[in-house]
């Protein structure tokens, strides 16, 4: 599997526990691992439930709705491909279903523009608590990533 896009951006390199997340993302679904016994969501994925110890899991479909928990705006020094995109904001989004589940992602200015440039949203528009919606960007035939569209209004 490729470790980088043609532009030199890093692709996710899933481990055994994370692989299902990326499989679901390829199908355009945001699914989070949950305990099949006690029902608790957990992230990052891991072999067993820290609450009840069960090794049985299921991958629960999320609404894709969330809120900005925090963000940074990255400036150089960065890896060359990233330096070309900088400055770019990176968001940490808490999911509506469980605010302890927070996903890192880049931002886009519309749910209809999953492939918008990383700097499509001016950092001045970002506010902690702002609502966002998951969108899916196909990076390669094997890799689809979740990005976050800033909801208007």
Q: Which residues pair with 72 in a beta bridge?
A: 90
The smaller minimum CB distance to another protein, of residues 50 and 153, is found at: 50
The smaller minimum CB distance to another protein, of residues 13 and 55, is found at: 13
For another protein, the binding residues (CB under 8 A) are 3-4, 9-15, 17-18, 22, 43-44, 50, 69-75, 77-79, 82, 85, 87-88, 90, 92, 100-106, 118, 123, 128, 145
The smaller minimum CB distance to another protein, of residues 63 and 70, is found at: 70
The smaller minimum CB distance to another protein, of residues 54 and 70, is found at: 70
Compute the least distance from the CB of residue 145 to another protein, in Å.
6
**What gap in Å lies between CA 11 and CA 107, rounded to an integer?**
17
DSSP assignment string, the chain:
--SB-TTSPBPP---TTTHHHHHHHHTT--EEEEETTT--B-SS--SS-TTT----EEEEEP--EEEEEEEEEE-SS--HHHHHH-SEEEEEEEETTEEEEEEEEEEES-TT-TT--TTSS-GGG--TT-EEEEEEEE-SSS-EEEEEEEPP-
Q: How far is C-alpha 120 from the chain's CA centre?
A: 17
Compute the least distance from the CB of residue 43 to another protein, in Å.
5
Compute the least distance from the CB of residue 5 to another protein, in Å.
9
Compute the least distance from the CB of residue 8 to another protein, in Å.
10
Compute the least distance from the CB of residue 85 to another protein, in Å.
7
């Amino acid at each position: 599997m490729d470790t980088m896009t043609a532009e030199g951006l890093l692709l996710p390199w899933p481990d055994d526990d994370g692989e299902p997340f990326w499989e679901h993302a390829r199908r355009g679904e945001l699914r989070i691992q949950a305990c099949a016994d006690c029902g608790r969501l957990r992230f990052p994925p891991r072999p067993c439930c820290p609450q009840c110890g069960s090794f049985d899991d299921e991958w629960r479909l999320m609404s894709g709705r969330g809120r900005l928990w925090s963000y940074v705006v990255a400036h150089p020094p960065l890896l060359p491909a990233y330096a070309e995109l900088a400055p770019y904001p990176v968001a940490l989004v808490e999911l509506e279903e469980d605010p302890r589940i927070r996903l890192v992602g880049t931002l886009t200015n519309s749910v209809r523009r999953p492939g918008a440039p990383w700097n499509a949203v001016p950092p001045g528009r970002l506010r902690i608590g702002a609502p966002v919606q998951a969108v899916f960007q196909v990076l390669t035939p094997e890799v689809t990533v979740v990005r976050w569209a800033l909801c208007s209004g």
